[in-house]
A and B are shown apart, each in its own frame.
Chain A
Amino acid sequence: QKEVEQNSGPLSVPEGAIASLNCTYSDRVSQSFFWYRQYSGKSPELIMSIYSNGDKEDGRFTAQLNKASQYVSLLIRDSQPSDSATYLCAVNGLNSNSGYALNFGKGTSLLVTP
């Protein structure tokens, strides 16, 4: 069973702080990694994708990937109350016939307090 693990939280950070979200995965051949944000009752919204080792920055968001450690993280700088949501880590489910269906973690709940 290929697994994606996330701390369920809740992770509480004060407004303006950096939120750090972590994810580990078990399938060493995974190649594509994604972070989705999901507000309560809504569908997942893609916020970051990363495909190679290192950091990728997009506005207040930075994704970090370490394939050797099978670890991917998301940093949110200058956290805002509107960032309060569940953050889902997703990893491609690679096999020979796969369209790269995504394997998701259970998500980490983030609460940004004013």
Chain B
Amino acid sequence: DTGVSQDPRHKITKRGQNVTFRCDPISEHNRLYWYRQTLGQGPEFLTYFQNEAQLEKSRLLSDRFSAERPKGSFSTLEIQRTEQGDSAMYLCASSLARGSEQFFGPGTRLTVL
């Protein structure tokens, strides 16, 4: 399977704990995006990487959120001190070029108790 992969697929945590998600993009794609989706809403943009550089961050990305893409391949998204409002599906997407089609991974569903 050469699509976008994400791990874990589900995560249940208690409020205040830290969580980390991983995304592996399509191998030839140098652009990687993180989105968050809550029930009944479309995905909302969080952050964007071109190779290892984080070039754009949404206002949604509070100080508790950090993302990295250290070698321009996989990416991690960490949420510190989780809150119940962080419960959502976290989606990763990758694309080949600016403005081109973005392909999504299966997502990580986070539940904060």
Contacts and interface: CB of A to CB of B under 8 A. Distances in A.
Contacts, number: 66
B72 interface: no
A30 B88 CA distance: 28
A11 interface: no
The binding surface of chain A is classed by DSSP as: loop
Contacts of A101: 33, 45, 48, 56, 58
Interface in B42-92: 42-45, 48, 50, 55-56, 58, 89, 91
A92 B56 contact: no
Contact of B41 (A46, A97, A106): A106
B100 interface: yes
Nearest to A89: B42
A45 B104 contact: yes
A42 B106 contact: yes
10 contacts: A34-B101, A36-B104, A46-B101, A46-B104, A88-B42, A88-B43, A97-B55, A98-B48, A102-B45, A102-B93
